[in-house]
Structure 1
Amino acid sequence: MTSIRHLHLDPLKRQPLLKDQVAPNEDTSKLPVKKVHTDPQGSKGNEDASIYVIGTATTVIEWRGLRILTDPNFLHAGDHVHLGPGVTAQRKTDPAVDLHELPAIDCILLSHYHEDHFDRLVENSLNRSFNIITTPHAKECLTGGTKADPFQSVHDLGFFESIMLHIDRKDPSHAGGYGKMPVIKVTGTPGKHVPPGPLAAANDLLKAVPPTNGWLVELGHSFAAPTGGDAGSIDTGYRIYISGDTLFVDELKEIPKWLKNEKVDLMLVHLGGTTIPSPSLPLVMVTMDAQQGLKLMHLINPEVTIPIHYDDYNVFLSPLSDFKEKVEEDGWSKGVVYLDRGEQYQFKVRGT
C-alpha cells in the first residue's frame, strides 16, 4: 500500500501567494460572487463549502477557512499562450478576478504544466515557497536545476497517490487535540491529453503535450494523529472529482474501481474539445468534447456535474451548447449546474 504524505496548512499562518506581498491578502479582498448556486435537488440552507469559477479551469475550493486554487490562469482577452511546438491559443474572455485581487490562498492544485493552466504571469509572480500539488512532470519543470528561480514547495502525485492536507487552525469548532480534525485528501487520478496510438508514441518522443492528472478531492475528518505513513485516515464528508484535461480513455475506468462504489458528490469536468493546432484545422483533439463528457458522467455517476474549461480560448471545438444538448437528450439535466465566471456553487460537507 502506498503511504500517504501529509501537508499541514494553517489558515491563520498563511504564506503570501505573490512574491511582492508582505502578508497574505486576507481581509483586503473577497471573491466577487455574481450569483450563488446550490444543490439542484434543493437546498437546506446549511451549506458550509463552495467552489468559485474564475475562468477556464481556474477555480477556488473553500472549506473550513482553507482555500485551494486550481489551475491558475489569469490572462485576459487578447492574450496568447503557447501550447506546443508552433501552437498558440488566444484568450477570448477575462477572468472573474485578477491574480493580485485574490483573497488569501493556502495551496495550488495544478493538473499539468501548460500555459493555459499555469500562465507566465502566474509563474513569474508566485512566491517560490508557496505550496503546489501537481504531477511529477510539472514538479520537474517547476523545480528543475535549469531554473534561475525554482519553486521550493512542490508536491508531486502520480495516479492514485495521495496527500492529506491537515487544517491546523485550532478553534472551538474542532478543539480537543487530534480528535475530529478537518482534513482534505487529494489523490491523483488518471488522465491522457493525447489519444492512444501513433500520436501518443510521437508525443512520447517529442514531449510536445505534457502529462496530466485528474484529482479526487475529499473533504472530511481525521480521527488519528497525523504522525506520518498511513496515519490519519479520512472520514469523507464530500467527494469532488476533477477530470483535468483528458480524453475519455480506458484508464478512467480505474477510478470507479479505486473508489469501490463510493459516490462522487460533485464532478468538475474539463470540456471544450480542445483541438490542435486549431478548430479550423483540427488534427488532434486533446480534451473531452460534449459526447465524451456525457460518457464520463455515465462512468463516474456524480450527484452533481459542473462543466468548466469550454470557451475561454480559441482552440475549443465543442461549445457548451453541445454539452447541454447531449445532457438534455440523455435525461441528465437535473444533475448539472452551469456556472459562469464569477459564480459560486455552495454545498454541505457531511459530518460538519
Structure 2
Amino acid sequence: MSAIKHISIDPQKSRSPTRDDVELPTALPKAKETKVHPSNTGSGGENASLFFVGTATTILEWESLRILTDPNFLHAGDHVHLGPGVTGTRLTNPAIDLHQLPRIDAIFLSHYHADHFDQEVEAKLCRTIPIITTPHAKSCLTAKGDDSFTEVHALDFFESLVLDVSMNNINGGRKPGVKVTGMPGKHVPPGPLSVANDVLSAVPPTNGWMIELGYMDADNTDKFENGYRIYISGDTLMVDELKEIPERYRSQNIDLMLIHLGGTTIPGPRMPLVMVTMDAKQGMQLIKLINPDLTIPIHYDDYDKAVADAGLNDKVVYLDRKDEYKFKVKQGLQATAKVG
C-alpha cells in the first residue's frame, strides 16, 4: 500500500483567498445563530465550528485552520451554466461575499460545476490556494495555461491525503492534522443516461468527502488519530456505491453528515428529465445507511429546483445562512466504536 500524501499547511502565514491585494478580515463575521447537537445539555468544550454560507458552501474552522467547501458566492438572480442548454438561477444571497472572506487555508471542491465553483470564484480566486478535488476537476483547473491553478490535488474514491498543519505550539509531541478521503458519488443515475453522459460529459463526475479532524505524532506524521469525523455527501444520488462507506467505516463513528439535498432535476423542475441530486426520500435512505450522530442538510433551497419536505428526525440540525454549528474535536482518544 502506498503512503498517504501529506500537504503542509501553515495557518500562521496569512494569505488572501483572492487575487485582490487587500487587507484581510481577521475572522468570519459573527454568526446570526450558534447551534450545537440537540443532545448537548450545556457541557461545552466545543473547539470547532462550521459556518454556513449558502448552497454547498461552508467554512470549517478548527485549530487555527480554515477550510472552504464548494465556493459559490453568486447572488439572487445570478445564473449558472449546469450543462448543455441547462442553466440555474440562484434564489438566495450568500451569507458573506467573496471579498469578505478571511484567510482560507484549503478548499474542498466536490466537482467542477458552476453552482459549486462559480464564474466569479474561478476568475478571482488566488491561483496558489490548495484545492482538493476530483481528477476531472483537477484536469480543468490546471489546463488554463498561465492562468492555471497550481496547487490542485486530486482524490479518487477512497484515496486519502493529510493536511499537515504546521504550528509552533506542538502539544505533547502531537500536532493537528486533517485527513480527507474521497467518497463515492454519482450525479447521473445508472442506465442509458449515464452511458450517454460518459460520452457527452454533460454532467461532471463528483466526489463526497470523509473529513477526519485529529492529531498526529510530530515525529511520525503517519500516526494519525481521529477526533471528529465528518462525511459530506456531495451532489450524489442514492446509488449502490455508497453502501461501501459503512462497510469501510465499520466500528468507526461518523459524528456529522452534511447531506446535499434538493431533488435537483434537469433541464428543470417544470420539465424534469432526470434527477441528479437526492430528494428527501433518498436523503432518508442515506441517513439510515450512514447512521451519523447528526445530519445537517445543505444545498436544497438555493436554486429553482424541486424541493421536498425532508421529514427528518431530531438528529438533524438546520442552518440558515450565516448560522454556525459548534462541536468538539476530541484529543488523545481512539475513534469511538459505533454502538447500536
Residue 115 of structure 2 corresponds to 116
Instruction: Tell me how large the CA RMSD over aligned residues is.
Output: 1.4
8 Å contact kept, 1:31–1:102: no
Residue 351 of structure 1 corresponds to 331
Find out whether 1:210 has 2:204 as its counterpart.
yes
| Other structure's SS at 1:233 match | strand
Q: 1:12: Cα distance to partner?
A: 0.5
Residue 298 of structure 1 corresponds to 288
Q: 1:2: Cα distance to partner?
A: 3.9
Q: Which runs of 4+ in 1 moved over 3 A?
A: none
Matches within 5 A, 1:33-112: 33-42=31-40, 43-112=42-111
Counterpart of 1:318 (choices 307, 313, 332) is 307
Residue 248 of structure 1 corresponds to 238
Q: 1:35: Cα distance to partner?
A: 0.2
Q: Structure 2 CA distance, aligned partners of 1:98 and 1:56? A: 13
Q: Please tell me the residue identity of whatever aligns with 1:88.
A: T
Counterpart of 1:155 (choices 133, 153, 156) is 153
Q: 1:147: Cα distance to partner?
A: 4.0
Find out whether 1:309 has 2:289 as its counterpart.
no
Q: 1:249: Cα distance to partner?
A: 0.2
Q: Please tell me the residue identity of whatever aligns with 2:4.
A: I
Aligned positions, number: 331
Residue 330 of structure 1 corresponds to none
8 Å contact kept, 1:219–1:236: yes
Residue 193 of structure 2 corresponds to 199
8 Å contact kept, 1:56–1:311: yes
Q: Please tell me the residue identity of whatever aligns with 1:130.
A: I
Q: 1:350: Cα distance to partner?
A: 1.1
TM, length-normalised to structure 2: 0.94
Q: Please tell me the residue identity of whatever aligns with 1:350.
A: K
Q: 1:233: Cα distance to partner?
A: 2.9
| 1:326-349: CA deviation from partner (whole Å, max 9, x where unpaired) | x2xxxxx22100101110000001
Q: Please tell me the residue identity of whatever aligns with 2:57.
A: T
Q: Structure 1 CA distance, aligned partners of 2:202 and 2:3? A: 32
8 Å contact kept, 1:83–1:89: yes
Q: Please tell me the residue identity of whatever aligns with 1:100.
A: H
Q: 1:104: Cα distance to partner?
A: 1.0
TM, length-normalised to structure 1: 0.91
Structure 1 22/341 Cα, relative in aligned 2: closer, same or farther at 3 Å? closer
Structure 1 336/98 Cα, relative in aligned 2: closer, same or farther at 3 Å? same
Q: 1:170: Cα distance to partner?
A: 1.2
Q: Structure 2 CA distance, aligned partners of 1:15 and 1:225? A: 27
| Other structure's SS at 1:262 match | coil
Q: Structure 1 CA distance, aligned partners of 2:21 and 2:243? A: 43
Q: Please tell me the residue identity of whatever aligns with 1:289.
A: D
Q: Structure 2 CA distance, aligned partners of 1:85 and 1:147? A: 24
Counterpart of 2:275 (choices 281, 285, 291) is 285
Structure 1 gap ranges (5+): 328-332
Q: 1:16: Cα distance to partner?
A: 1.9
Residue 7 of structure 2 corresponds to 7
Q: 1:44: Cα distance to partner?
A: 1.2
The share of aligned pairs that are identical, in percent, is 58
